Amino acid sequence: MATEAGTPTFANKYPEEASIVRRAFLVAFIALGVGALAGVIQALHRTNILRIIPSADYYTVLTLHGVLLVIVFTIFFLVGVFQWAITRSLERSPPNITFTKAWLGLMSLGSVMTGAAIVSGVISEVDASADVLFTFYAPLQAHPLFYAGLVVFIVGTWLAGVDWFRTWLGWRREHPDERIPLQAFMVLTTMIMWYIATIGVAVSVLFFLLPWSLGFIDQVNPLLTRTLFWFFGHPVVYFWLLPAYLLWYTVMPKIAGGRLFSDPLARVVFVLFVLLSTPVGIHHQYMDPGIAQGFKFIAMTNTMFLLLPSLLTAFTVVASIEHGARQRGGTGLLGWLRALPWRDPAFTGMALAGLMFAAGGFSGMVNAGMNINYLVHNTLWVPGHFHLTVGTAVALTFMAGTYWLWPQLTNRRLYSRPIALAQVVLWFGGMALMSNAMHVSGLFGIPRRTAEPQYQGFDFATTFGGVSELNIQLALGGTLLFVSTLLFLSNLALSLAQPTRSGLGQQLPAALSGPEDSPRVLDNLALWSGIAVVLVVLAYALPLGSIIADSGLLGPGGTAYPAVLTPDSLAGLQAVVADPVVRALEVVA
Query: What positions carry a catalytic annotation?
Result: 234, 238, 385-387, 448-449
Among 50, 355, 541, 577, binds other proteins (CB under 8 A): 355
Specify the residue, 184 or 421, whose C-beta has the smaller distance to other proteins.
421
Contact (Cβ atoms closer than 8 angstroms) between residue 488 and residue 417: no
Among 50, 375, 527, 537, binds other proteins (CB under 8 A): 375
CA distance 240 to 257: 26
Q: Does 5 bind other proteins (CB under 8 A)?
A: no
Among 124, 333, 456, 497, binds other proteins (CB under 8 A): 456
Q: Does 304 bind other proteins (CB under 8 A)?
A: yes
Q: Does 179 bind other proteins (CB under 8 A)?
A: no
Question: CB 583 → other proteins: shortest distance, Å?
Answer: 34
Specify the residue, 27 or 467, whose C-beta has the smaller distance to other proteins.
467
Which residues in 183-242 contact other proteins (CB under 8 A)?
221-223, 226
User: What spatial distance separates the first Cα and last Cα of the chain, rounded to whole Å?
Assistant: 57
Q: Does 493 bind other proteins (CB under 8 A)?
A: no
Q: Nearest to residue 165, comparing CAs of 182, 181, 197, 189?
A: 189
Q: Does 351 bind other proteins (CB under 8 A)?
A: yes
Cβ neighbours, 10 Å, residue 15: 10
CA distance 233 to 229: 6
Distance of CA 329 to the CA centre of its chain: 36
Q: Does 341 bind other proteins (CB under 8 A)?
A: yes
Contact (Cβ atoms closer than 8 angstroms) between residue 448 and residue 387: no
Distance of CA 438 to the CA centre of its chain: 20
With contacts defined by CB under 8 A, name the span among 35-43, 132-140, 195-203, 206-214 that binds other proteins.
132-140
From residue 536, how far is each of 50, 274, 310, 390 by CA, in Å? 46, 11, 20, 24
Q: Does 124 bind other proteins (CB under 8 A)?
A: no
Q: Does 444 bind other proteins (CB under 8 A)?
A: yes
Question: CB 271 → other proteins: shortest distance, Å?
Answer: 13
Q: Does 421 bind other proteins (CB under 8 A)?
A: yes
What is the DSSP code (8-state) at residue 447? Answer: B
CA distance 501 to 3: 12
Specify the residue, 157 or 379, whose C-beta has the smaller distance to other proteins.
379
Contact (Cβ atoms closer than 8 angstroms) between residue 573 and residue 240: no
Which residues in 255-284 contact other proteins (CB under 8 A)?
261-262, 264-265
Contacts of 545 (CB under 8 A, 6+ apart): none
Q: Does 291 bind other proteins (CB under 8 A)?
A: yes
CA distance 206 to 561: 19
Backbone angles phi, psi at 17, to 5 degrees: -65, -40
Question: CB 386 → other proteins: shortest distance, Å?
Answer: 16
Among 34, 107, 182, 346, binds other proteins (CB under 8 A): 346
Which residues in 25-84 contact other proteins (CB under 8 A)?
55-56, 58-59
**Range 274-292 burial, b when 16+ CB lie within 10 A, else e:** bbbbbbbbbbbbbeeebbe
Question: CB 370 → other proteins: shortest distance, Å?
Answer: 5
Question: CB 217 → other proteins: shortest distance, Å?
Answer: 15
Among 49, 217, 425, 533, binds other proteins (CB under 8 A): 425
Q: Nearest to residue 221, comparing CAs of 236, 203, 235?
A: 203
Which residues in 539-558 contact other proteins (CB under 8 A)?
546, 550-551, 555-558
What is the DSSP code (8-state) at residue 511? Answer: P
Question: CB 499 → other proteins: shortest distance, Å?
Answer: 9
